[in-house]
Amino acid sequence: MSKSLLERLSEHRTLGAAPQPQIEWVANRGRLRSLAAGQILTSKKGPVEGLHVVLSGHLAIYVDGGSGRRKIMEWRGGDITGMMPYSRLIAPPGDVVAEEPTEVVTVPSGDLPQMICDCHELTAMLVHLMVDRARHFTSSYLHDEKMVSLGRLAAGLAHELNNPASALTRSAKALAASIGSVRTASHDLGAAGLTMEQVAAIDAIRQISISSRVQSVRSPLEQEDRERSIANWLKKHGANPAAAEPLAETDLTFNALDQLASAIDGKALDIALVWLAADFSTHRLTAEIQEAASRVYNLVASVKGFTQMDRASVPEPVDIEQGLTDTVVILGSKARKRSVSLSLRTEPPRPPRAGVARLSLSAEEIPQDKAQSIFPVLRARCRS
C-alpha cells in the first residue's frame, strides 16, 4: 500500500495507539474507499463487509422507529466501526450512511481471524470498542423505551386531566356571574322587609336543599320534566319562572315550596325564590369546583405514587394495594378507550420487600402488553 495511507493510519486517533507492525498489517489488508454524501456504507439488510477505519468525514446509523427515522450513533474521522474481532454481528440495526464525503479503510471480515492471531494489542483495543458500542446501543434502546413510557403516561394523564380542568374553567367563569346574581338578590331580599319568621322559613328550605349528602341522579328527560313542573308552580304563585332551572338542580320538594308560599306571598315570595335560586347555583358551582380540584389532586397523587421517581432503588416494604390502585387510575383512560373494565380486589398480604419504582413499572407493563387481546373484564388480585 502507498506510504501516504500508512502515514494516515499511523496518525489515526484510535488506530494510531496500536504497535506500528499492526498498523502496517491493517494498511496491507485494508482497502481505501471513498463515499459520497448520502451513500450507504452498510445496509440494514447486511451483511457487514468488515472492519471500517474512518479516516475522514462523517458516518451515521439511522433506525426506523415508531416516530420515524432516527439517528442513534455516529462516527467521524478517527473512529472505527463495522465488524470487530469476536463479534457476532451480521447486519446493523439500520443503514450506515455517509453524512458528508467520507474516506474509510475496510479490512474484510474474512481477515479478522488472522488479525486475532497476528495483532494482539489491536484486537484487545477493538474488543473494548465493541463493548462500548454495545453499551451505547443498549443505553439508546433503554432511553427510547423510557421516552415511550413517559409519552404514554403523559398522554393518559393529559386525557384524565382534561375533564376536571375543563370543569374547573367552566365553573369558575360561571361562578363569577353567579356571585353577582347573589349580591343583587341579597340586596333585594334585605330590602323586602321580611319578618324573622319569614327569614327562618327561607333559611330552613335552603338548609334542607344544600345539606343533602346524596344528590338525586335524574335522566335528561326527568330533569326537563322537573324544571317544567317547577316553572308551572312559579307561574301559578306569581314568581319568575326563570328560577326554575337552578331550583330543579336541587332536591327541593313541592311540599317545601308550598310551605314557603304559605309563609311568604306576593312580591316577597318572588324575591325569596330568586335569592334561593342564585344561592343554590353558587353552592352547586362551588361543589363542582371542589370536586374537579379534588380529581386533579388525586390524579397528581396517583402519578407520584405510580412513578416513585424520588425513591431510592433499594428493597423496602411496599404497599402493593396502593401501588396497584395508582396503576389502575393511571390506566383508566386507556381501559375506557378499549371498552375494558378494570376492577381491583386485594387481600391483606404481608408487605413484601421490593424496589418501589421497578414494581410500579412492572405493574404498568402487564396491561400494556395484553391491551390488544384483553378480555372485557380484567381482575387484578394480590396474594401473599
Question: In CATH, what number is assigned to the domain containing residue 331?
Answer: 3.30.565.10
Nearest to 113 by CA among 131, 87, 81: 87
Q: What share of the chain is helix, strand, coil (3-state, %, to 5)?
A: 60, 15, 25
pLDDT in tens, 94-111: 899 999 999 999 999 999
Look at residue 348 in the predicted model and tell me its pLDDT.
Answer: 62
Q: Are residues 210 and 338 in the same domain?
A: no
Q: Are residues 259 and 167 in the same domain?
A: yes
Asked whether residue 18 is domain-assigned, the answer is yes
Asked whether residue 25 is domain-assigned, the answer is yes
- DSSP-derived pairing of the beta strands 353-354 and 316-317: antiparallel
Phi, psi of 104 (to 5 degrees): -135, 150
Q: Are residues 289 and 312 in the same domain?
A: no
pLDDT: is 298 or 3 the higher one? 298
Q: Are residues 246 and 332 in the same domain?
A: no
- Gap between the Cα atoms of 33 and 49, Å rounded: 12
Q: Are residues 185 and 232 in the same domain?
A: yes
SS3 122: helix
pLDDT at residue 16 greater than cutoff 70 = yes
Q: Are residues 19 and 103 in the same domain?
A: yes
Average pLDDT, stretch 53-68?
85
The number of distinct structural domains making up the chain is 3
Asked whether residue 96 is domain-assigned, the answer is yes
Q: Are residues 200 and 170 in the same domain?
A: yes
pLDDT confidence band for 82 (50 / 70 / 90): very high
Look at residue 30 in the predicted model and tell me its pLDDT.
Answer: 92
Within 13 Å of residue 101, how many CA atoms lie on the same side as its CB? Answer: 1
Q: Are residues 188 and 287 in the same domain?
A: yes
pLDDT in tens, 122-156: 999 999 999 988 888 888 777 777 777 777 777 77
Vertex 365: Cα angle to 362 and 366 (nearest 5)? 95
Q: Are residues 321 and 273 in the same domain?
A: no
Asked whether residue 127 is domain-assigned, the answer is no
pLDDT: is 353 or 7 the higher one? 7
Q: Are residues 20 and 50 in the same domain?
A: yes
CB 98 within 8 A of CB 54: no
- What does the buried/exposed string (b/e) look like for 140-154 if buried means 16 or more CB atoms within 10 Å of the residue's CB? beeebeeeeeeeebe
Q: Which three cell numbers stand for residue 236?
A: 301559578
pLDDT at residue 69 greater than cutoff 70 = yes
Bridge partners for 382 per DSSP? 346
Asked whether residue 239 is domain-assigned, the answer is yes
Residue that is last in its domain, among 118, 141, 176: 118
Asked whether residue 141 is domain-assigned, the answer is no
Residue that is last in its domain, among 66, 92, 118: 118
Within 13 Å of residue 381, how many CA atoms lie on the same side as its CB? Answer: 4
What percent of the chain lies above the pLDDT cut of 70? 76
Q: Are residues 20 and 41 in the same domain?
A: yes
Residue 263: which domain range? 161-297
Q: Which helix (H) or strand (E) holds 266?
A: helix 266-307
pLDDT in tens, 297-324: 887 777 776 665 555 555 556 566 666 6
- Gap between the Cα atoms of 206 and 95, Å rounded: 74
Residues in the chain: 384
Look at residue 266 in the predicted model and tell me its pLDDT.
Answer: 85
Q: Are residues 315 and 282 in the same domain?
A: no
Asked whether residue 342 is domain-assigned, the answer is yes
pLDDT confidence band for 209 (50 / 70 / 90): confident
pLDDT in tens, 31-45: 999 999 999 999 988
Where would I find the beta strands (DSSP E) of the chain?
Answer: 31-35, 40-42, 50-65, 68-76, 80-82, 95-108, 316-317, 341-346, 353-354, 377-382
Asked whether residue 154 is domain-assigned, the answer is no
Lowest pLDDT segment from 66-70, 220-224, 325-329, 347-351: 347-351
- Gap between the Cα atoms of 109 and 216, Å rounded: 78
Residue that is last in its domain, among 118, 143, 170: 118
